[in-house]
């Protein structure tokens, strides 16, 4: 984390890119109300599109001398633009391009440029297996090269991508406290004890996320082992040949399945069905990002059949109305978390307790 000098009065400017305006408004409110950050305001970046599809960013106010935080949601496909008379939905690539345009529009006038991209651009393309591009590493290097000093994301698919920018600030925030708080809010009857609760990782890749919860709550964890075919591809994904459970009994327990994102949700639902078949009391899913490229109707069906009790999802990225209005949807608000983070970085304070909120979690649990 790159910090400014001891001058803590440097004004904060939030620049919300398309689709993050609501998030920026809430963050500004928390900064003003909680930390008396009167020198905090929003400056909009207008993306002007030409009929051919190319564009430019235009800032609506000065950011000279400010500590700038650009908010971008690369997963917001509800934003569109006109190109040759056609309506084009924005892809992650186009959101990332708008981010770079905005940095260019700042023109080196800010004291520091920080990027907050809760869903990190290209985060799933984090390693090279064969002859393929390293998109996430390239994007991080590009941001570093154009003057971005801090890059902040939530629940990065594999945070070792930070190795691409070893001299830059890179923070991977994990909303464990916010999720546990939401669980206690919606289901105060849940007992976090080995006898009553269990976390189950849907695959080996999600083990670390589930372990964070079990370590904080003192619970057991089960794991599903998944082996994919190396030859059969359906819908762009390798077909799962083997999916086996390894771990304690789920019988009569509240089971929590944690992953970073839901795309089709097939794996999560397979785990939920297995747990219910083995006698689980209730099954809850937890995901930082609800992408839902497909599969919402399957979640509706699982809810109707009492296979799935609820899905806890953060407001870190776009959720279409179909998701937000679903009976199984439970929102986890992270706006205050981001505001606290911005305050700490702006003031040059440590963020260790934000990255590891152990004491805060146990104060919450002690309240009953």
Backbone phi and psi for residue 87, each to the nearest 5 degrees, phi listed first: -90, 120
Asked if residues 266 and 283 have their Cβ atoms less than 8 Å apart, the reply is no
pLDDT tens-place values along the chain, 368 residues long: 544 444 456 999 999 999 999 999 999 999 998 887 778 999 999 999 999 999 999 999 999 999 999 999 999 999 999 999 999 999 999 999 999 999 999 999 999 999 999 999 999 998 888 899 999 999 999 999 999 999 999 999 999 999 999 999 999 999 999 999 999 999 999 999 999 999 999 998 899 999 999 999 999 999 998 777 777 777 767 777 777 899 999 999 999 999 999 999 999 999 999 999 999 999 999 999 999 999 999 999 999 999 999 999 999 999 999 999 999 999 999 999 999 999 999 999 999 999 999 999 999 999 86
Q: Report d(CA 168, CA 102) in Å as an integer.
A: 19
Q: Which CATH number fits domain 12-173+335-351: 3.40.50.2020, 3.90.1420.10, 3.40.50.300, 3.30.465.10?
A: 3.40.50.2020
Phi-psi region of 259 (alpha: psi -120 to 50; beta: other; left: phi over 0): beta
Q: What pLDDT is attached to residue 7?
A: 46
CA 321 and chain centroid, separation = 18
Domain ranges (residues) in the chain: 12-173+335-351, 176-332
Asked whether this chain's domains 12-173+335-351 and 176-332 adopt the same fold, the reply is yes
Q: Give the separation between CA 272 and CA 256, rounded to whole angstroms.
A: 9
353 and 41 in contact (C-beta within 8 Å)? no
Helix (H) or strand (E) holding 86: strand 86-89
- 176-332 CATH choice from 3.20.10.10, 3.40.50.1110, 3.30.1330.60, 3.40.50.2020: 3.40.50.2020
């Amino acid at each position: 984390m790159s910090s400014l000098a001891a001058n803590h009065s440097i004004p904060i400017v939030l620049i919300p890119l398309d689709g993050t305006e609501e998030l920026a408004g809430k963050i500004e409110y928390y900064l003003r109300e909680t930390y008396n950050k009167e020198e905090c305001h929003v400056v909009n970046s207008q993306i002007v599109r030409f009929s051919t599809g190319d564009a430019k960013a235009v800032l609506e106010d000065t950011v000279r001398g400010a500590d700038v935080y650009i908010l971008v949601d690369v997963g917001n496909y509800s934003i569109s633009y006109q190109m040759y008379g056609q309506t084009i939905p924005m892809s992650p690539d186009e959101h990332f391009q708008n981010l770079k345009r905005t940095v260019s529009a700042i023109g080196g006038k800010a004291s520091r440029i920080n990027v907050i991209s809760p869903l990190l651009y290209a985060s799933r393309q984090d390693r090279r297996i064969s002859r393929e591009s390293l998109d996430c590493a390239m994007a991080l290097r590009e941001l570093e090269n154009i003057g971005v000093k801090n890059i902040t994301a939530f629940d990065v698919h594999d945070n070792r991508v930070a190795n691409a920018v070893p001299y830059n600030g890179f923070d991977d925030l994990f909303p464990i406290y916010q999720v546990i708080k939401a669980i206690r809010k919606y289901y105060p009857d849940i007992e976090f004890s080995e006898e009553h609760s269990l976390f189950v990782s849907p695959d080996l890749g999600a083990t670390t996320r589930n372990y964070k919860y079990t370590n904080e709550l003192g619970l057991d964890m089960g794991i599903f082992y998944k082996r994919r075919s190396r030859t059969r591809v359906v819908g762009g994904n390798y077909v799962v040949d083997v999916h086996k459970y390894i771990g304690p009994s789920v019988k009569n327990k509240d089971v929590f399945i944690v992953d970073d994102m839901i795309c089709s949700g097939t794996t999560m639902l397979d785990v939920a069905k297995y747990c219910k078949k083995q006698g689980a009391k209730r099954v809850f899913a937890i995901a930082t990002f609800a992408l839902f490229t497909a599969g919402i109707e399957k979640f509706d069906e699982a809810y109707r059949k009492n296979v799935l009790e609820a899905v806890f999802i953060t407001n870190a990225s776009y959720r279409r109305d179909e998701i937000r209005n679903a009976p199984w949807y439970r929102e986890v608000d992270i706006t205050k978390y981001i505001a606290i983070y911005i305050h700490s970085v702006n003031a040059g304070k440590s963020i260790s307790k934000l990255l590891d909120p152990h004491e805060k979690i146990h104060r919450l649990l002690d309240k009953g």
